[in-house]
Amino acid sequence: MGLQTYRAINNHRISLAHYADQQENLNLRDPNRVFFEEVLLVDELNNYRMPDYHRLDLGLTHKKRWANDWIRTVSVSVYNAYNRQNAYFIYTEKSEASLKFYQFTLFPILPSVAYGIKF
């Protein structure tokens, strides 16, 4: 994870966060799959690796102090800025002839806006 925060012009702050993770090995069989009562049997340990996980988060924050010492904060941010479909988990579906693997993803690009007052 790399987090960078920059103080831009006056009361503006820009933040960039990059998350990258190399996934751990999983136990999956190659094309000649063996089943026993609808359960996939694995012959070799750690023979598959999930796709790597990475995303970029961006944020812009503006703070302003009012005359009564209250602080107003307006923030705009984007989670997963380049909309990468990271695998949360992988599941299988068995048809009559083969076994297919699918990945389940959680979050696409998510923009957000926040407004806060501190007094």
pLDDT, tens only, 41-82 = 666 666 677 788 889 999 999 999 999 999 999 999 999 999
Q: What residues contact residue 39 under an 8 Å CB cut-off, 6+ apart?
A: none
Q: What residues contact residue 75 under an 8 Å CB cut-off, 6+ apart?
A: 59, 60, 61, 62, 112, 113, 114, 115, 116
Confidence of residue 119 (pLDDT cuts 50, 70, 90): very high
How far is CA 16 from each of CA 46, 63, 80, rounded to the nearest angstrom? 34, 18, 11
The widest CA-to-CA distance across the chain, in whole angstroms, is 74
- pLDDT of the residue at 115: 97
DSSP secondary structure string for all residues of 19-33: EEEPPPEE----SS-
C-alpha 37, offset from chain centre:
36
Q: Which residue has the tokens 């699918």?
A: 102
Query: pLDDT digit string (tens) for 100-112?
Result: 788 899 999 999 9
